[in-house]
Amino acid sequence: MTKILQHRRKLERSQNVKILASVIDWTVALYVVVPALVIGFFLYKDFILNISTSWIVHMPLVLFIVLLFIITRIGTIRTYLQRADRLFLIQNRKQMIRLKRAGLYWTLSKHLILLGTGLALLSPVFIIVHHITILELLSLLLLLFTTNFMKLLFQLKLRKWQQLVSNMFMCILGTVCFLYVPIITSLIYLILLAYCISYYNKHYVYSTKFFDQQVELDQVAFYKWQSLLFQIAPELRSQLVPKLKKPRLLWKNSKRMFRRSDYLIEELVCKTMLRQKQYLFGYLRFLLSGIGLIIIVPAWAKMIMLGILYFTLRSMMQSVIQQILEHKIWSIFQVSNEQIHAASRRLLKGFVDLPLLCILIIFIISLVI
């Protein structure tokens, strides 16, 4: 690994740590991350112990293999190139080749470890349910790894519809070959993997023809965490100017939602949540994902998940209310701190306490029945 790669990997790790530290504070770690890890461990343990009677027994092997070929993929082959390298590093061709080659091997090694870990976790399903041997699992690992690498080459060379056709063909070919001739197919795919690595080295490592494309792809991979957070929580884009749109369905003509005139704060907060979809979708995403987890987990973990959902949803709503109350429009209205606290309590009761109380009542009724 070159010194430049080590330095840029260190910068990327420090940035990712800062992003995770800004998102996962002690409350999120205490109420979400740690309980999720503990519950996930026990769910996986129960799944392995009761695998012979679980729903996955009725899932055919061919469908399972097809899903693996579709789901698994390599995001981007990292080159760790920057735009300034066109002026400086490109003068030292050997150094640039070593950097891109090290990025290739780092990406493939990382994907191979992740793929192997995933198959290791799923190995009880293959061995106990479908009676697959360890050698055949290694053959499946090679098939998935080679197919994902070829998909990445297709993305660099082919058009969208050509990529779709090629990916479907590779998925069908890999599934059929694994089911009928796994060992012979492994030898063929091993030769194919060697050819793909040689092809990538020739056209993308030793050549500078695709320098701008590689820099752009590497920048996208570098800011992967930020992009993922923006997709999960669009309200984090506080630096962007929000696009105000008129509501299409509810309260189109700014009619009052509450009859009482002293509910001004509740009125504006509720209308803001309805008309700014990042707030509405964020609230619904937390609520519905929590309800889904409560339905999935065993009976002994439902109350724990309900408590976690309560504190998580309450923290999220407090953050949303605080963001709305920090808007400059509140400098126009003369509202006291007592009114703000009272309105916040009423909003938390409506958005947090009432939905979770309904979920608790439904849960108790289902246990009684």
Same domain, 225 and 261: no
Q: Are residues 14 and 94 in the same domain?
A: yes
Q: Same domain, yes or no, for 272 and 317? A: yes
Same domain, 162 and 294: no
Q: Point out the domain boundary residue: 177, 205, 230.
A: 230
User: Please, what's the b/e burial string for 135-145 (b: 16 or more CB within 10 A of its CB; e: otherwise)?
Assistant: ebbebbbbbbb
pLDDT in single tens digits along all 369 residues of the chain:
578 888 888 888 888 888 877 777 777 777 778 888 888 888 888 888 888 777 788 888 898 899 999 999 888 888 888 888 877 776 788 888 889 999 999 999 999 999 999 999 999 889 988 889 999 999 999 999 999 999 999 888 888 888 889 989 999 999 998 988 888 889 999 999 999 999 999 989 988 888 888 888 888 888 877 777 666 655 555 544 444 444 444 444 455 556 565 677 887 888 888 877 788 888 888 888 888 888 877 777 788 888 888 888 888 888 888 888 877 776 666 677 888 888 888 888 888 888 888 888 887 877 776
pTM for the model: 0.64
E strand or H helix at 203, and its extent? none
How buried is residue 162: exposed, middle or buried, by Cβ count under 10 Å (0-12/13-18/19+)? Answer: exposed
Sorted by sequence, the CB contacts under 8 Å of residue 90 that are 6+ apart come out as 96, 208, 211
CA separation for the pair 146, 186 (Å, rounded): 10
DSSP character at residue 241: P
Q: Which among 176, 199, 230 is the end of a domain?
A: 230
Round to whole Å and give the CA distance between 55 and 41.
19
In-domain check, residue 142: yes
**For residue 59, is it within any domain?**
yes
Is residue 237 in some structural domain? no
Q: In this structure, are 62 and 143 located in the same domain?
A: yes
Return all residues near 256 (Cβ < 8 A) that are at least 6 apart.
267
Domain count, the chain: 2
- Concatenated DSSP letters of 97-149: HHHHHHHHHHHHHHHHHHHHHHHHHHHHIIIIIS---HHHHHHHHHHHHHHHH
Residue 333 lies in a domain: yes
180 shares its domain with 90: yes
**Calpha distance 3→133 (Å, rounded):** 42
Contact residues for 33 (Cβ-Cβ < 8 A; gap 6+): 24
Query: Does 317 lie in the same domain as 175?
Result: no
Q: Which two tokens stand for residue 19?
A: 């992003």
Q: Does any domain span residue 240?
A: no
Same domain membership, residue 216 and residue 84: yes
Spatial neighbors of 146 by CB under 8 A, at least 6 apart, are 189, 190, 192, 193, 196
Q: Token pair for residue 84? A: 């300034």
70 and 167 in a common domain: yes
Task: Map residue 262 onto helix, strand or coil.
Answer: coil
Boundary-marking domain end, from 206, 230, 254:
230
Confirm whether 235 is domain-assigned: no
pLDDT, residue 296, reads 78
SS3 75: coil
Domain limits for position 63: 3-230
At residue 233, the pLDDT reads 57
Q: Which of 250, 64, 273, 281 is nearest to 174 (CA)?
A: 64
Rounded to whole angstroms, how far apart are CA atoms 120 and 113? 10
Do 195 and 73 reside in the same domain of the chain? yes
Q: Please name the residues in contact with 108: beta carbons below 8 A apart, sequence gap of 6 or more.
A: 74, 77, 145, 149, 197
Asked if residue 341 and residue 201 are part of one domain, the reply reads no
pLDDT of residue 242: 46
Do 268 and 141 belong to one domain?
no
Amino acid 69 reads F
